[in-house]
């Protein structure tokens, strides 16, 4: 991903709505060919950011550079970029073929070449050729996704933007389409910039992920980095269930929780004084004796949940609930309300500052 000049570059981009900064001083480089996903809860400014990148909004301050050229004031129809909308925004009065050919028609290409290109794209997206003359409203949800993507690809953009196109689709189909999208990315070698509120979705597809919160980019990294070394509690809590313990670093080099317990710390970030200890559920283990792990806690087994390939257990320690996950093949064989000991090795936890 690194090396060459970034295809898209944001320099202190800010967008104000009244006194409110929807997007606040964002610096970001996106490399050519990258699948970059911006993740954030609703209201975090990710849609505003995408609209600025696509040319449907202009930044209040800062610069957006495409191939090194400032494009702040270039309108969307003059940018070599294209967006797949959340609603897909297909043209309901047109057939599948006419939808896909739209950008080519606008460009004034002759009908035969348009049709050839449309059929080629339909092949790439696994849409049957017989759909060419089908009314786009007669297509299923997944087919419409493909038509929308084919239409965007027909524009032959340098960058494709995606505004949560999969959010309204049921789980199973979404999982299929996520993988398909990643395959299309591989096939077309184009730069994809995707936004979603689901970090899980982002993890499946992306080369790199940027996490947004309240208009700011909190962390940028590979899915692996975001998962295993989140830099804030906010980021850590974004994927699945996590165990978060508020802690203060004591002079004894141990972490002290408000309940009086002490824990052996993982690698301590420089300057760390207090914050949270984050333990992913798969790193928590049931212990036969407290000595089997660096840190151990006793509690009672409250409930268990089957999550497909994994089983999640809830262990209550006083007021606090811990979640432990084990693979289905290696379930824990305790009874509900048993007193159990759970623990983790110091280096499997992460310390975050807020």
Partner 1 sequence: MFKPMSAGFRSASPVLLFLLIGFAAPLLAVIWFSFMPPRSFSFGGAPTFENYRTIFESTTYISFLWSLGLAVTTVVLLALICYPVAYGMVRVFGKWAMLVTLLFTIPLFVSENIRLYGWVLFLIKNGVLLGTLKSWFGFELESMLFSVPAIILGMVYVYLPFMLFPMTLGISMVPNETRDAAFDLGASRWQVFKEVELPLSMPGIVIGFLLTFVLAIGAIAEAKVLGGQAVIPITQDIEIAFTYSQNWPLGAAIAVLLMLIVGVLVVLALRRFDLDSFLGRR
Ranges within 123-182 binding partner 1 (CB under 8 A): 135, 137, 151-152, 155
Ranges within 51-90 binding partner 1 (CB under 8 A): 54-56, 75-77, 82-83, 85-87, 89-90
| Residue 250 binding partner 1, by CB under 8 A | no
Q: How far is the CB of 273 from partner 1 (least distance, A)?
A: 48
Q: Are 89 and 148 in contact (CB under 8 A)?
A: yes
Of these, 12, 20, 73, 106, which contacts partner 1 (CB under 8 A)? Answer: 106
Rounded-to-integer distance, Cα 13 and Cα 5, Å: 19
Of these, 28, 62, 97, 102, which contacts partner 1 (CB under 8 A)? Answer: 102
CB atoms within 10 A of CB 318: 9
Q: How far is the CB of 192 from partner 1 (least distance, A)?
A: 16
Rounded-to-integer distance, Cα 168 and Cα 184, Å: 20
Of 124 and 317, nearer to partner 1 (C-beta) is 124
CB atoms within 10 A of CB 215: 22
Of 85 and 332, nearer to partner 1 (C-beta) is 85
Those residues whose C-beta lies under 8 Å from the C-beta of residue 118, and which sit 6 or more positions away, are: 97, 100, 101, 104, 132, 150, 154
Of 102 and 344, nearer to partner 1 (C-beta) is 102
Of 156 and 207, nearer to partner 1 (C-beta) is 156
Interface with partner 1: number of residues (CB under 8 A): 26
Q: How far is the CB of 105 from partner 1 (least distance, A)?
A: 8
Of 132 and 302, nearer to partner 1 (C-beta) is 132
The secondary structure element, H or E, covering residue 278 is: strand 274-279
Of 157 and 230, nearer to partner 1 (C-beta) is 157
The secondary structure element, H or E, covering residue 307 is: strand 295-307
What are the backbone dihedrals phi and psi of residue 133, each rounded to the nearest 5 degrees, phi first? -100, 10
In degrees, rounded to 5, the angle at the alpha carbon of residue 197 between the alpha carbons of residues 141 and 52 is 90
- Residue in the block written with tokens 């996520």: 178
Binding region for partner 1 (CB under 8 A): 54-56, 75-77, 82-83, 85-87, 89-93, 102-103, 105-107, 135, 137, 151-152, 155
């Amino acid at each position: 991903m690194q090396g060459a000049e970034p295809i898209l570059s944001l320099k202190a981009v800010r967008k104000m709505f009244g006194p409110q900064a929807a997007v606040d001083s964002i610096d970001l480089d996106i490399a050519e060919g990258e699948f970059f996903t911006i993740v954030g809860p609703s209201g975090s400014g990710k849609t505003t950011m995408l609209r600025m990148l696509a040319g449907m909004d202009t930044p209040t301050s800062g610069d957006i550079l495409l191939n090194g050229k400032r494009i702040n004031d270039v309108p969307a129809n003059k940018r070599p970029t294209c967006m797949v909308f959340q609603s897909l925004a297909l043209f309901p009065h047109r057939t599948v073929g006419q939808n896909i050919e739209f950008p080519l028609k606008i460009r004034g290409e002759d009908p035969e070449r348009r049709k050839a290109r449309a059929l080629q794209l339909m092949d790439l997206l696994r849409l049957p050729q017989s759909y060419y003359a089908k009314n786009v409203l007669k297509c299923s949800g997944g087919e419409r996704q493909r038509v929308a993507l084919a239409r965007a690809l027909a524009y032959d953009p340098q960058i494709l933007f995606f505004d949560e196109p999969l959010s309204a689709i049921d789980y199973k189909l979404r999982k299929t389409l996520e993988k398909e999208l990643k395959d299309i990315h591989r096939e077309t070698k184009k730069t994809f910039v995707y936004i979603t509120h689901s970090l899980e979705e982002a993890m499946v597809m992306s080369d790199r992920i940027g996490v947004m919160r309240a208009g700011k980019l909190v962390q940028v990294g590979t899915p692996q980095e975001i998962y295993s070394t989140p830099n804030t509690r906010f980021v850590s809590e974004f994927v699945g269930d996590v165990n978060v313990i508020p802690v203060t670093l004591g002079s004894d080099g141990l972490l002290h929780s408000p309940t009086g317990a002490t824990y052996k710390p993982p690698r301590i970030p420089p300057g760390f004084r207090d914050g949270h200890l984050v333990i992913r559920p798969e790193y928590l283990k049931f212990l036969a004796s407290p000595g089997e792990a660096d840190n151990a806690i006793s509690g009672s087994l409250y409930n268990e949940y089957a999550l497909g390939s994994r089983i999640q257990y809830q262990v209550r320690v006083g007021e606090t609930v811990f979640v432990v996950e084990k693979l289905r093949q290696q379930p824990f064989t305790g009874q509900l309300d048993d007193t159990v000991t759970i623990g983790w090795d110091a280096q499997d936890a992460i310390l975050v500052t807020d």
